[in-house]
Structure 1
Amino acid sequence: MSERSESITGFLISSGWADATRTTITGDASNRRYERLRKPDGQIGILMDAPVETNVPIKQFIDVSNWLRQQGLSAPTCHAVDHNGGLAVFEDFGANIVAGLADQDPARELDLYRTTLDVLLHLGNCTPMSELLEFTPEHAAGICNIAFEKYGRFHPATHGHQDLTLAVLQGLLEHHAPETNTVALRDFHAENLIWLPDRNGIRSIGLLDFQDAVVAHPAYDLVSLLTDVRREVAPETKAALVEKFVHATGRSMDAFGPTFAVMSLQRNLRILGVFARLALENSKASYLDLIPRVWRHIDEAIQHPMLAEIEPLVRNGLPVPTKDTLAGFRV
């Protein structure tokens, strides 16, 4: 038994979960690992294994979770925690993942996504947590350097375009999406949302994976939801949610178009670099299969007329993800 396994066993004993059966749950892009726990009496929980050396402190997840519940939303309660060991047992929301439900029955997608938008609109009316990072245009543009450093590392033109591209991106964000007044959970997509049929309204959407929450533009998580890199969202669903968001927040469709486009560009440039890094440095080549969809979101964003200045910089500075391009990341 490894030292980490011994630590987990000791934690489960001390927290009263030693007699639970353990089933591994498919992981995400992080270094965290999850297991579903089930006691003989039927009590269930989720074990989060987040070694402190490679993860944000579990306290951050717990603090955001507590805040979300205080706002009337559904976030998992912590049953037991070892902060120093990077271990915790959380409430189990079950396996009704919104992405899976929408894929199984496409007719449900719009209703599920509308309820999810209600969650985001509610968050927009909440006073943000004061201790969260402010996701300013400068910060948002700066963290996109990973697209050039990791995804563009084999592309000769990349380094000549990086600084100018990021500067132009920052300028576009400052002009079209300067607001930072809403808690954004950041990794907000349908695989991180759980349908809770025994709860009503906004509480029927269970929230996960929010330890990297920031204070950002009110539409940041909407853009994340609708430019999902893991599944195709129906055009009708996208249009309906954008229209509802614009109406509910008193914006105009004309002004919101470039706002959505530049935030989609920022988010997907960042993801492009993260997925390349996961393949190169963490042997997670499966993320390369998602890059063509990431690129499609980027391509769609830079075609907006208000992003004309940055379009040639992106096209000349980063390679199109052809089969040959992606082959270079498979190690």
Structure 2
Amino acid sequence: MKNLKKLKGDASFRQFYRKKNKNLSSIIVFAKKEKLKNLIIYDAINKILRKNKILAPNLYKENYKKNYIEIEDFGNETIFEILKRNKNDKFHYFKRIIKILNQIQLIKDTKIKNFKKRNYKIPKYNTNILVKEANLFCDWYIKKKLSKKKREIFTKKFKKIVKKLAFNLQLKNNVFVHRDFHVSNLMLVGDKIGLIDSQDALIGNKAYDLASLIDDVRLKTSNSFKKKIFNFYLSKQSNLNTYKFKNDFEILSILRNLKIIGIFMRLAHRDNKKNYLKLIPYAWKLIDLRIHENELFLDLKNLLSKNLKRKL
């Protein structure tokens, strides 16, 4: 079709096209693989967000049989791109983002009718999912770094450590978690900030989305800036046990970035998307930043240092 323009893709199996029709513009999301998640669940989560006054793409049309949905066009201005151009405005935008995060964490809706008129219930972010995700580090990164025998020993120890860390989380799984809450998924739409890429949302730990925002592998920020955002978030909370929250923030940040290293290796070797490899050194830096914060991480630190020759 003449009025369709292919857009740059992301790490998922989806393809995006901008559809122009006179003065109107929309986005076609095409997904043959994982289409339940990428089409039906994506729209269901967006409905929950919009119901709670959070800007998310509206559905215009669905053609599930032909593997696509047509949604509202939020343009091209991600907060990531804006911050790359205007470094001085960083704190201004992060304050606005924290306000959105607070709104998200107040969401009580966990069930909605999807466009197939069936109920969709947001699942819980349980320990099994958390451990399975962290194990992507072994499945893809360690697989390329260690011999088969060393890999088996490493994986066994790693899984034991990750389970222990997961069981040391203090807060309940009782808030809406976007799970990819960072500046590349936040867009400036007019004078508002909209949220995209929400199909992986679960009901989980209050510290998770803040960890993905502050310890974002795509956006390099100073340690003092990270602390500033963390403290700003805390200043907007009431009845939050800051010790428990900090404990969970550090655990989830480390587990998330280990998962991300695994995912980036998978994207490179399975899907031939090699541009993500350049982000791995900063993911290690973020792990290094948090791994010294708590004696809980001592076993993990020793395991990584010994096997990967990393001075953590």
Q: TM-score range, shorter-chain basis?
A: 0.7 to 0.9
Instruction: Report the CA distance between 1:146 and its aligned residue.
Output: 1.3
Q: Does 1:167 align with 2:160?
A: yes
Aligned length: 297
Name 1:194's counterpart in structure 2. 187
**Which sits farther off after the overlay, 143-152 or 312-321?**
312-321
Q: Which amino acid aligns with 1:62?
A: D
Residue range with higher mean Cα deviation, 65-74 or 178-187: 178-187
Partner of 1:181: 174
TM-score normalised by the chain length of structure 1: 0.83
What is the CA distance between 1:137 and its match in structure 2?
2.7
Aligned partner of 1:276 in structure 2 is: 265
Q: Does 1:33 align with 2:15?
A: yes
Alpha-carbon contact 1:158-1:318 (below 8 Å) kept: no
Which amino acid in the other structure matches residue 266 of structure 1?
L
Amino acid at match of 1:311: K
Contact 2:268 2:276 in 1 (8 A): yes
Residues 186 and 53 (structure 1), Cα distance of their counterparts in 2 relative to 1, 3 Å cut: closer
Cα displacement (A) at 1:282: 0.9
Out of 238, 245, 253, the position equivalent to 2:233 is 245
Alignment of 1:284-299 (within 5 A): 284-299=273-288
Relative distance call for 1:115 and 1:151 in structure 2 (3 A) is same
For residue 54 of structure 1, report the CA deviation from its aligned partner: 6.4
The SS at the match of 1:34 is strand
Other-structure match for 1:16: none
In structure 2, list runs of 5 or more residues that go unmatched. 112-120
1:240, distance to aligned residue in structure 2 (A) = 2.2
Q: How many angstroms does 1:236 deviate by?
A: 4.1
Q: State TM-score, norm by structure 2.
A: 0.88
Q: Which residue of 2 is the match for residue 201 of structure 1?
A: none
- Answer whether contact 2:176 2:201 (CA < 8 A) is retained: yes
Q: CA shift at 1:290, angstroms?
A: 0.9
Residues in 1 aligned to 2:227 and 2:241: alpha-carbon distance in whole angstroms: 14
User: Distance in 1 between the 2:292 and 2:187 partners?
Assistant: 33
Q: Secondary structure at the match of 1:88?
A: strand
Write out aligned runs for 1:72-91 (5 A): 72-91=53-72
User: Unaligned 5+ residue runs, structure 1?
Assistant: 1-8, 10-19, 199-203, 322-331
Counterpart AA for 2:133? I
2:101 is equivalent to residue 120 of structure 1: yes
RMSD (Å), alpha carbons: 2.1
Counterpart CA distance in 1 for 2:168 and 2:135 is 20
Residue 44 of structure 1 is matched in structure 2 by 25
